[in-house]
Structures are given as structure tokens and as C-alpha cells.
Amino acid sequence: MADSRKPERPAFTEDDRAQFERLVSRYSRHVYVIAYRMTGNEADARDLAQEAFVRVWRAWHRIDPEARLEGWLYRIVSNLYIDLLRRRRGPRMHSLDEPMATASGELVRERLDPNADVERTVLDATVDRRIQEALLGLAPDLRMVVALADLEGYAYEEIAQMMRVPIGTVKSRLHRARRALRDRLAPIRASLREQ
Amino acid sequence: MTTSHRIERSLSAYLDGELPPEEVAEVERHLAECPSCRAELDDLRATVRILQLARTPEAPDDLEELILARAGRRRWLTWPAWPKPAVALAAVALAVILVATPLLRGHRDRLRAAEVSPDVFIRAAVQSAADDPFMDRAYIGLVSSDTNLRLIGEEPRGSGR
């Protein structure tokens, strides 16, 4: 009887479990950060990070836990994010110039005063928010490249491997992303120039 | 594509030190004589500096626990936890139930219709006879007793016991 209940795939051992825990401890924060850059909010980032590791666990017997898995994990996050957008029927992108529709009417986005005190501007948490908003205005593939290159500091070659695209694609996506961000981040830039 | 356009597309890579040396020399020669590309390079540099101001979002403290809990829970819901013969047996049983239910139900309905139709016929006859003032109520009672009916306005049979 015991034989008939034996699963065809190898069972998880205590050693597997311990290795998985090490892997979670090593990568979970990086995965969360990149998920946050993609989704722009904590709840979705947490959900995506969890789901990414569930996928790792499901594929456990096909991976080498000692190999560098960042690229694979980031690809999973990217795919999960695209699934999330599909489930919500289309990306929720907002133009920074258009008023935001809210329950109590339209809200015009506040822009940074270019003459504001630079130190205050830099320290202000709104800078973070504005950067994240500007990122969310990019297409997901551009957003991932710019997040990996400019926020996480990966080299082009590493990004190309992670995203499984030619290095020329990384180069052109990053350039397009930066040009799109240039205008959106102009108010912050004006403050810095006065520094 | 003009030289200026081609160089302009390489400016991000130049800024990141990601160009091969021969292209670096070409970009630098071009920058020396093209103010618009110099301005573009300044813009890109400033944009990257701003992006680097973004603080790294802090992961929730319980993130690792959440991940381990969720991965552990899924483990029992995935295929290996359920032996294949049991799954196959359950699928066959489900198929049998889905096919047999309408057949059995149709058969049962036909039996019930055969039982009910004389009843309905007698009920209609008794009701029309009851409207006739000269009809003998004893006769009506005799006919209706077989069908377990009661006449309109009459006390239910057996209630007088």
C-alpha cells in the first residue's frame, strides 16, 4: 500500500527544505525590491515576491540552488507582474500631466517648485514617490531594465543574461527609458541644478 | 541615420562605461564638436543621478516567514502529494456520475409521470362534476377516494376521527 502512494517526483527532504530557506534568506529582499519597482506598492510587491519563491519551490528538483538565481527570479517577477496586469485588464499607467481621477473629483498633481530649497527637496520623501511614479509611467520592459541598471547597479551583460535579451536590446531600452524619465524628473533636476 | 543620431543612441552606454574603446573615441570626438549631444549627455547624467536618489524600499520584516509558509502550504496542494491512481479513479467516478445522473433522472421522471397522470385526469373530472348541483356527492366521494383527493370546501378525510 505504501508503494502505491509514493509520488513519482522525488519527495522533499529536510536538506531541500534547509537549502530553500537559505535561498529565501539570500534573495528575498532583492526580489521584493525589484517587485516593488515594478508594481509601485507594498501589497503587490509582497505578493509577487511570495509567488516568485513558490515557483522556485515547485521547480526545486530542476534547479541548482547554489547557482546564481537572481536573473531567473527577476524574470519570474517580471512575468508575474505581466500576469497581474492582465488579470487587472490593462496596465494602470498615469500620465503625470493629466489630473488624477479620484472618488471626490479630479485631482491635479502637485509639482515640485523648482525654486524650493534643494536640501529639503532631496530629503523629502516625495522625491521617492515621484521617482516611483515616473517609473510606473514606463512600459514594463523599459522599467525592468532601468530598475536593474540605475537602481540596482547591474551591468548590461548581467541584465542581458537575466532578461534573456541581446545586449544591444538592453542598451537601447535603457536609453529609451532614461529619455522618457528625463522629462518626468525635470522638476527635481531643476532643484538639483541650483545646488 | 546621421552620425549625430547614431552617437546620441550610444550616449547612455558611454555614460555607463559600457562602450568598446573604439566607440568611446568616436563618441568623444563627436561630443567635442556637437553642443546638442553634450547637452543630451548632461541630461542623461542628471537623470541617472536623480534615479540614484531613490531609497531602496524596505522589505517587510516577516517576508521570509510569509514566503516559507506559502511555499510549504503549496507543497501539499501540488501533484506529488496525490497519488496518480487515486486521481484517475476520482476522474472516472466523476465521469460516470456526470453521464449516469441525467439518464437515471429521465427514467425516474417517466415513471413518476405514469403514476401522476391518472391522478390529474380524475382530479379534473371530479372538480367539473362538483360544480353540477344535481351531481350525487356520494358518487363524487367514491370516485375521488381512489385518487386521494378532497373536494373543494370539504374537510380533509380522516380529520373528523
Residues 43-82 of A with CB under 8 A from B: 45-46, 49-51, 53-54, 56-58
Among A1, A130, A175, A191, the strongest candidate for a mutation testing the B interface, having the largest count of B CBs within 10 A, is A175
Cβ burial of A46 (10 Å; 0-12, 13-18, 19+) is: buried
Contact A7 B53 (CB under 8 A): no
Q: Which residue has the higher pLDDT, A11 or B14?
A: B14
pLDDT tens digits for range A90-138: 545 555 555 555 555 555 555 555 555 545 555 557 788 889 999 999 9
CA distance to partner chain B, nearest, from residue A141 (Å): 17
The reply to whether B45 touches chain A by the CB within 8 Å rule is no
CA distance to partner chain A, nearest, from residue B114 (Å): 50
Q: Spell out a b/e string for B97-135, using b for 16 or more CB atoms within 10 Å of the CB, else e.
A: eeeeeeeeeeeeeeeeeeeeeeeeebeeebeebbeeeee
pLDDT tens digits for range B95-142: 999 988 888 888 888 878 777 776 776 777 777 777 776 666 666 666
Give the whole-angstrom CA distance, residue A168 versus residue A38. Answer: 22
The reply to whether A19 touches chain B by the CB within 8 Å rule is no
Does residue B8 surpass a pLDDT of 50? yes
Q: Which residue has the higher pLDDT, A11 or A192?
A: A11
Contact B79 A45 (CB under 8 A): no
CB pairs under 8 A between A and B: 125
The DSSP code sequence of A94-154 is: --SSSPEEETTEEEPPP---TTS-HHHHHHSHHHHHHHHHHHHTS-HHHHHHHIIIIIS--
ipTM here:
0.71
User: Could you tell me the pTM of the whole model?
Assistant: 0.61
Mean pLDDT of A57-78: 86
CA distance to partner chain B, nearest, from residue A151 (Å): 6
